[in-house]
Amino acid sequence: MIRVFLVLVALIALGALKLPVERDLAAVHRREHFRGIEFNLDLREKIGQLGFIAALSGFRSIVADALFIQAHVAWERTEWGRVLLLFQHITTLQPRAILFWDMAAWHMAWNASVAAMNDGTQPRLALRVKAQREYFALGKDFLERGIRNNPDRPELYEALARLYKEKYKDHERASEFFAKAAALPGARTYDRRFSAYELSYCEGREREAYERLRQFYDEGEKQRLPTMISRLKFLEDKLGIAQERRIPDAKPSQH
């Protein structure tokens, strides 16, 4: 009995020593966005009893992968509602996997939206457009939630920029998100350039776009790409830049 008592005293004393370390580790986990999943009744309803038990017992990534395969099959059958539902489960289970957020948004905003627009069973154009916009919004929602879960990764900012550019034709927001992607470590080198390209389409921000594009152009030959040159020439005309300050015309092809 004395031994047990002594052990309890030792445990309490050592517990007081370990608590700050555990608290510190938990803070690091939160800061680095680990433990991003909450096992609650909502998730239990979504993934079913067996899946929930599997997820609880440490097979979260395997359950997510199995659901991802099911989502792929649902996509092949163009069952868009099921694709949406499955990707909601998958992203809940694996909120740190960029691929799942990106794929979910792509299915909604690109594939399902086009299918809704070409829906032969819906004769009214207004309703087809409405369905299309709803799928755009679902894609945007996936990307925004993905960014909230992975604010340190550039891929989803870039995907959201593409969504604004190609689906919403909102060049200002596209430029903003390309710039956010470019500011993060591991971003693609073209993100910086794309941000300036998108800005060049925004009414009233041509001067700012011109200065950024000109800065890239002046960095050297590697930056002087066809789109860069064509956007610069467009802005030079629009802003009435003096002839001596304009970039030279492209050299004729050597072929």
**Interface residues with another protein (CB under 8 A)?**
3-4, 6-8, 10-12, 14-16, 18-19, 21-22, 24-26, 28-29, 32-35, 58, 60-61, 94, 96-98
CB nearer another protein, residue 186 or residue 240: 186
**If DSSP codes are grouped into helix, strand and coil, which group holds residue 177?**
helix
Minimum separation from the CB atom of position 161 to another protein (A): 21
CB nearer another protein, residue 7 or residue 129: 7
Contacts of 239 (CB under 8 A, 6+ apart): 206, 207, 210
Take residue 78 and report the two structure tokens written for it. 């163009």
Minimum separation from the CB atom of position 143 to another protein (A): 17
User: Cα–Cα distance between 53 and 98 in angstroms, integer?
Assistant: 24
CB nearer another protein, residue 100 or residue 197: 100
Take residue 216 and report the two structure tokens written for it. 């890239």
Contacts of 142 (CB under 8 A, 6+ apart): 87, 91, 101, 104, 105, 108
Minimum separation from the CB atom of position 154 to another protein (A): 14
Minimum separation from the CB atom of position 247 to another protein (A): 41
User: Cα–Cα distance between 250 and 255 in angstroms, integer?
Assistant: 14
CB nearer another protein, residue 29 or residue 72: 29
